[in-house]
Amino acid sequence: MNILNLYASLNGQTEKIAREIEKTALMGEHIVTTVNVKKQEDIIDLLAYDFIFIGSGVYTWLPGKAMLDWMKRQMDYIRKNDLILPGSPRTPGKFVCVYCTYAGPHTGEAEAIPAIKYMGQLFDHLGITIVDEWSIVGAFIPKKMHQLNISGRLGNIEGRPNDEDLRQVRERVKGMLNSLQVSISST
Ligand SMILES: Cc1cc2nc3c(=O)[nH]c(=O)nc-3n(C[C@H](O)[C@H](O)[C@H](O)COP(=O)(O)O)c2cc1C
């Protein structure tokens, strides 16, 4: 499969997940293009890939600024070229998995859901089917925010994402790509 692995990461937490996805997909002998959207100025042809991963940290219930800015640039291009059709018909063989890393200090996972849904809509509008949505715990990195890693709604999240979180990412990537191999090779 031809895989696009998009991410934005302010303090490197989401980047850990993106790197794990990349390693796992490469071991499965897929072609993987990993893109940090902060460094991406050119418009990406999202329909050129069989499978897309997209991930970001959560900042006030939404993806961070780098991701929002990238999405806006993509949307401007998509609108200008009339790429969104009424009813957003499915494009066969095109899939996306949307995830975020988050700390949920106040309301827990509810803080991650709007960010995931927001990112997913870009792809759903283009007819790219959302196959999975992951919210992965990511502790606060700035020192002055460390207290929130032990006092928030999720309890103690120090060191997350940890080895177990990364193991789960690997297993989910393998499971998902295997399950779609047949639908993609038949298009
Ligand atoms: C300034 C700042 C604001 C944050 N705001 C939220 C928030 O509103 N909700 C939340 O769940 N996590 C919040 N977080 C935690 C991050 O989403 C989490 O640490 C994430 O894993 C960071 O990913 P990144 O380093 O890849 O951007 C915040 C972190 C920072 C540094």
Reported pTM: 0.97
Identity of the residue numbered 141 = I
Using CB atoms within 10 A of its CB, is residue 137 exposed (0-12), middle (13-18) or buried (19+)? buried
- Assess whether the C-beta atom of 140 lies below 6 angstroms from ligand 1: yes
- Assess whether the C-beta atom of 102 lies below 6 angstroms from ligand 1: yes
pLDDT at 131: 97
Cα 149 to averaged position of ligand 1 atoms, centre (Å)? 11
Could you list the residue range(s) of the whole structural domain that residue 92 is in?
2-185
Supply the CATH number for residue 104's domain. 3.40.50.360
Q: What residues contact residue 71 under an 8 Å CB cut-off, 6+ apart?
A: 63, 119, 122
Q: What is the mean pLDDT of the chain?
A: 96
Residue-wise pLDDT for 9-40, tens only, equals: 999 999 999 999 999 999 998 999 999 999 98
- Give yes or no for residue 185 having a pLDDT over 80: no
Proportion of the chain above pLDDT 90, given as a percent: 95
Residue-wise pLDDT for 79-105, tens only, equals: 999 999 999 999 999 999 999 999 999
Q: How many domains, in total, are found in the chain? A: 1
Please state the φ and ψ torsions of residue 152, each to the nearest 5 degrees. -85, -175
Which of 37, 54, 59, 151 for a ligand 1 pocket mutation test, highest count of atoms within 8 Å of Cβ? 59
Give the residue whose CA is nearest to atom 28 of ligand 1: 59
Residue-wise pLDDT for 98-137, tens only, equals: 999 999 999 999 999 999 999 999 999 999 999 999 999 9
- Assess whether the C-beta atom of 144 lies below 6 angstroms from ligand 1: no
pLDDT at 181: 82
- Assess whether the C-beta atom of 115 lies below 6 angstroms from ligand 1: no
